[in-house]
Structure 1
Amino acid sequence: MSQKITMQEIADRLSVSKYVVSKALSGKSGVSEATRQRVMQMAGQLGYLAQKKTFAAPTDSDKRWGTQGLEEGIGTVLVLMPNIRHQTKESTYWGKILDGISKELENRGADMLTLTLNSAEGLNSSLRPQGLAGVIGVGEISRSLLLEVQRLGLPLVLLDHDDPFISADQVFANNRDSAYRIVQYLLGLEHRSVQFIGNTAFSKSFRERWHGFREALEEAGIAYSPEPFQKLLHLEYLDAHMQEEQIREALRPHLERTTLPSALVCANDRVAFAAVAALRSLGVSVPDEVSVTGFDNNEPDYPGVQELTTVNVTKETIGKRGVDVLFWRIANRDSPAETIQIRGDLIVRKSAVTPRIHNLPPM
């Protein structure tokens, strides 16, 4: 019988403490990314992950999703979240999703292993797939990496990401419905000239928010002309300062033409932050002259827009439901893939008011 590999042995091989190894394997903060990757690679090489088997305690959520097929233990759950763009563990949005995953796995007595690979290269060298019960992908993940996960036959759940070539369960915020409701709120404030800001090609979430925006205007019979504002739909940069410059240049010509929209519906709070800064730099008052709304409710990230009307996406719930769905998928391997949508709540603050000038077309 082969000797059991311990965290202490991994620590000794890497000349680090057992405490560092424990934090790295559980995905907790306080360990550098380079150290985390070294620990995971050594754990995989020594076969530590392959020998891990942890039994999850039944919970109310188990009763809802079913516990059949889990009697042999769920093992370790791998959480994939490549460190790209603003998609980091430190962000208010993605970090809270990870918190939701971590707390729910802990409640179930399961182990969590995080990995930040951006491609399929190195996946097998970083871990032993036979020691994993399933995979939760957070945010945008390369298709090659997702295909490799599928090739390994591991149950897969994607959070806030969609790939048409990958058949997997998904958990999203209900982006379309929430955007629809925020536009309905603006229409109730008598806004008739509304524009969307955000790169609609950035993600499925942004596209769904764009569709909800369009649906609300069309249903109300409001004429919508995006052509003069195409730049607002194709923001090239993710940095808030670069976005501010793009938005400012897109809106500047409309100051002289008096065709400035009375309200701007932004794809997320970061874009809203840039839009407010751009408007103010042009001498436009927010919200007296132009109302601005956001999405996600990431107030701590943007202290300059604490009064932003936005949609609260319960990030922790997305993470928790991702775990729920993975447990269900482990017990129901042959069922069709499903998409779960979490309702967002409209948070009304001071950045959206009835427009001061009423020279716009009637309803």
Structure 2
Amino acid sequence: MTRKTVRIAMNGVTGRMGHRQHLVRSILAIRAQGGLDLGDGDVLWPEPVLVGRREHALRALAEQHGLEHFSTDVDAVLADRTVELYFDAQVTSAREEALKKAIAAGKHIYTEKPTATGLAGALELARLAHEKGVRHGVVQDKLFLPGLRKLKRLVDGGFFGRILSVRGEFGYWVFEGDWQSAQRPSWNYRAEDGGGIVVDMFPHWEYVMHELFGRVTSVQAVATTHIPQRFDENGKPYDATADDAAYGIFELDGPQGPVIAQINSSWAVRVNRDELVEFQVDGTEGSAVAGLRNCRVQHRATTPKPVWNPDLPAAYAFRDQWQELPDNEEFDNGFKAQWELFLRHVYADAPYHWDLLAGARGVQLAELGLKSSAEGVRLDVPEIQL
């Protein structure tokens, strides 16, 4: 067995998502299991090179995890021929330019979303990567959640019959930052810094709908800022210029006919559901409700027959009428699972289709969602290509 070391520039790992999910629970977890077995006698050993703007934070992170390499000079890292892959988890506004530099340097690209601040920039990244001949992938982590993998199992098995509709509820109360600290960074609520829930979440909903139910063909959305003032990391008040809630209706081109999806996203909602995100899928033969980890089903044959009668209290609990779907397999961390697929794509030529063009579809939907909200109209979502 041969061990191949792969040096990966990881930009933005001092942030919450970059640190916890991508560095610790993905790359370091792969190292903890002895590397990634490529199945041909080779084991891939990822060697992260931490990149960022704050040297003291990078140094502390490297010392915490026993890593040797870090730098605040992204250009020097990209010029290093021993670095083969570039990963980006920076703030959205800084990502597009950094990805362009990495592609020009001939690095394989793996990046968080959204890939750019607009569709034109996202498509340019996809074209540049294609022309340069580098491998490229975009994080689409929700597809690897246990709950959605169970949901995909139901779709593939024909459980639903003809799928009619999808209803999604996502969100939680993000504290304003005055009397309790906020759970999200302040830039998320400033449009000028690339913030906003549409820009953040519509790319997620695009790939979930596209992969599970069908291509999005139209969008009608209302985006709003429910909390107009928040407090930053230093306790100073600032105007929230970005949307913190969005209510969208999407038409999908399903394999058996049109599907209507309605998804609410909010950082100003208190959770009254089993998980922070849930999708209910209704079809002619059955329904399912999937969250981060769990999935409940109700088949046509076991569907009760409710009768509307507001004069009498319900004699039963509706949720008790659903059946919990078993795991039937062990589910690894979703971010780690996709990292492993991408590394196999780069170094073992395994198939992989969550690329920069797929990422551009998410940017397109966010862009059209904001336009729909601003103009108060339903908009078509045209297919995009290089």
Q: Which has the higher helix share?
A: 1
TM interval, shorter chain, is 0.3 to 0.5
The structure with the largest alpha-carbon Rg is 1
- Tell me the TM-score normalised to structure 1 length: 0.40
Task: Compute the TM-score of the two structures, normalised by the length of structure 2.
Answer: 0.39
